[in-house]
Structure 1
Amino acid sequence: MSCSASTKCLLVFFNAIFLLIGLVMFAVGLTVHLNAEFSQKAFSSFVDKLDEAAKEAGKSVDTSDFNIAEVVGSITIVLIVLGLVIAIVAFLGITGATCCVKHVLIVYLVITLVLFLAQLIMLLIFVIDRSVYDDAVKPALKDTIQEEFTGFEGNDAPSLIWNALMIELKCCGVDSYSDFTGAKKWTDGTKYITPRACCKKVDTATGDACATFAGASDINNNWKTGCYEKLYDYVVSDAVVIGAAAGVLGFQLLLLILTIVILKTAAAVEPEF
């Protein structure tokens, strides 16, 4: 089987980039999943913010048993699997182009096409109606509040993360303070309308009036500002998501075109191919 040298080099080069990305994702996911000490160091500043806020409020929060691996465990599994898939597909592309193996290139073409179409559909859904994704994610986040959140002094992973998040981003709950209503383990729910972490200023001077049914207001509490949108805007935005996805799709489209060109060139040179 004969291949166009320039087209082959381009396909190998671009797949080498994807191979590197896949291996990095796999290595990072595996390291975080297996190395608890590495995970703790990576998120130490996150926990420190909660410690500082608790001290200002005259409270003591025990974060010694906090294990971020318990929280991001499922994320690391996704990262490991995704990285492995990307690396394998890229390796197929490199092998098929380098050795000019027809069947390997066809398998690579089919897999890349399927991934391209799946991502295109996901992007179109996101552009047309992002709420489809929001409606899938928000209930799971609200469940962590309803089932696990114990309050401002809780030392379990969900409580520590929610408190630190609300203090850092100046928000309350997923959509608002109402997400805490009826939370099973939040015993302070009979006294407070929001957790203390929702207050705009958490310290001994202001006390806890900002979180009570009678004292909470727009002036002293972030009770109507949801953390979901704040975190989304903090980490990423619609423009970034759409731009990044369009870039990846464009890159994959180029890979598809290069693969088809190689296959057609080879077929023209060798009719029995």
Structure 2
Amino acid sequence: MCVKALMKIVSGVLSIVSVLLGVIFLIVGFILQFGLTTVVVNYLRTYINELNNYLKATGSSVDIETYIQQLPQITGNLAVTFIIMGIVIAAVGVIGLVAVCCEVKVMLIIYIVLLGILIAGQVTLIIVYYAARDTFISRAKTYMQDTINNKYSGYSNMNMETILWNVFHTSLGCCGITNGTDFASAKLWTRNVTYNSVSYTNIAYPLTCCRTSNYTGCLQSNHTSIQYTNLNVGCWEKIDTTVQTNITYAALGTAAIVLLQTLILVFAVHLCKGDSSKTQPV
């Protein structure tokens, strides 16, 4: 009896933790869907202000609040994913809590099945990501190149993609995906810029690929002076390093969640077996 009572307590606590995790996923999902504007604006404001300081000399500027409104459209699928995961994890946790506390065998069985499916799904996602990582990277680079080819417009009439590229260049000290040659196929970029009342035509690479220490020297040499340009520094490696670090943390977090759910599953199975043996005739 003591062992069973202990298992009920542990299972109940773990189920509560599962519910809380589900709520956290829900909150993240709602932030991505409805509150992303405020979060991103505050995070990027420093970089946007820095970018605007240099764009003033070109007669351009960025109204970050206006453009960030478009981000929920870009992150919509991710937000929905977090919301669905949050609902599922929280719902399974609630079912488990009721099943464990009330010792309802039918609910315990349903809980065990749902928990098993949830664990299998999460493990599958981790395996698929690491097995197909090269495919994901290839698609990401293809998408980024497409934004350069068909969206990047330089410094006037800037769309969201253009702003993000300019922010990447300015904040990370890089140029393009692999290097500045990625902009050779940009269709909307005019390759002309007026900086500090001086007009430069047929520039080889975007102004934001210049090092912020000397835009004038960079433009005058048309990016041929390495001391003034970041044209040989690709943004992908820098972005990927940050992304992979976060993915590693996410994978570790997911592994911890799976371990938690596995413990709950084991306890639930034992409780279910105990309930079955109790109802068997002597």
Name the TM-score class by shorter chain. 0.7 to 0.9
2:207 corresponding residue in structure 1: 196
Distance (whole Å) between structure 2 residues aligned to residue 181 and residue 260 of structure 1: 61
Letter in 2 for 1:221: T
Distance (whole Å) between structure 1 residues aligned to residue 226 and residue 264 of structure 2: 53
Cα 1:22/1:245, change in 2 over 3 Å? closer
| 1:94-105 alignment runs, 5 A limit | 94-105=97-108
Cα 1:114/1:41, change in 2 over 3 Å? closer
| 1:103-118 alignment runs, 5 A limit | 103-118=106-121
Distance (whole Å) between structure 2 residues aligned to residue 54 and residue 77 of structure 1: 33
Which runs of 5 or more structure 1 residues have no equivalent in the other structure? none
Residue 76 (str. 1) matches residue 84 (str. 2)? no
Per the TM alignment, residue 164 of structure 1 is displaced from its structure 2 partner at its CA by: 1.0
SS of residue paired to 1:66 = helix
Per the TM alignment, residue 216 of structure 1 is displaced from its structure 2 partner at its CA by: 4.1
Rg larger for? 2
Residue of 47, 50, 69 corresponding to 1:49? 47
| 1:75-154 alignment runs, 5 A limit | 75-128=78-131, 130-154=133-157
Q: Is the 8 A contact 1:56 1:202 kept in 2?
A: no
Residue 221 (str. 1) matches residue 221 (str. 2)? no
Q: Is the 8 A contact 1:11 1:259 kept in 2?
A: yes
Distance (whole Å) between structure 1 residues aligned to residue 280 and residue 144 of structure 2: 58
Residue 262 (str. 1) matches residue 271 (str. 2)? yes
How many pairs are equivalent?
A: 265
Q: Is the 8 A contact 2:191 2:202 kept in 1?
A: yes
Percent of counterpart pairs with the same letter?
22
Per the TM alignment, residue 9 of structure 1 is displaced from its structure 2 partner at its CA by: 1.9
Q: Is the 8 A contact 1:126 1:132 kept in 2?
A: no
2:19 corresponding residue in structure 1: 19
TM-score norm. by structure 1 comes to 0.80
Distance (whole Å) between structure 1 residues aligned to residue 26 and residue 249 of structure 2: 23
Cα 1:80/1:122, change in 2 over 3 Å? closer
Distance (whole Å) between structure 2 residues aligned to residue 9 and residue 103 of structure 1: 19
Q: Is the 8 A contact 2:20 2:90 kept in 1?
A: yes
Cα 1:250/1:163, change in 2 over 3 Å? same
1:234 corresponding residue in structure 2: 242
Cα 1:8/1:132, change in 2 over 3 Å? farther
Residue of 214, 217, 223 corresponding to 1:206? 217
Which runs of 5 or more structure 2 residues have no equivalent in the other structure? 193-200
Distance (whole Å) between structure 1 residues aligned to residue 278 and residue 220 of structure 2: 81
Distance (whole Å) between structure 2 residues aligned to residue 185 and residue 240 of structure 1: 38
TM-score norm. by structure 2 comes to 0.77
| 1:58-69 alignment runs, 5 A limit | 58-59=57-58, 60-63=60-63, 66-69=66-69
Q: Is the 8 A contact 2:48 2:167 kept in 1?
A: yes
Q: Is the 8 A contact 1:172 1:224 kept in 2?
A: yes
Deviations 1:32-77 (A, max 9, x none): 5335xx7235423414412323323523313155242421341333
Residue 39 (str. 1) matches residue 42 (str. 2)? no
Q: Is the 8 A contact 1:20 1:87 kept in 2?
A: yes
Letter in 1 for 2:21: I
Cα 1:28/1:246, change in 2 over 3 Å? closer
Per the TM alignment, residue 91 of structure 1 is displaced from its structure 2 partner at its CA by: 1.8
Distance (whole Å) between structure 2 residues aligned to residue 181 and residue 115 of structure 1: 47
Q: Is the 8 A contact 1:138 1:174 kept in 2?
A: yes
SS of residue paired to 1:206 = helix
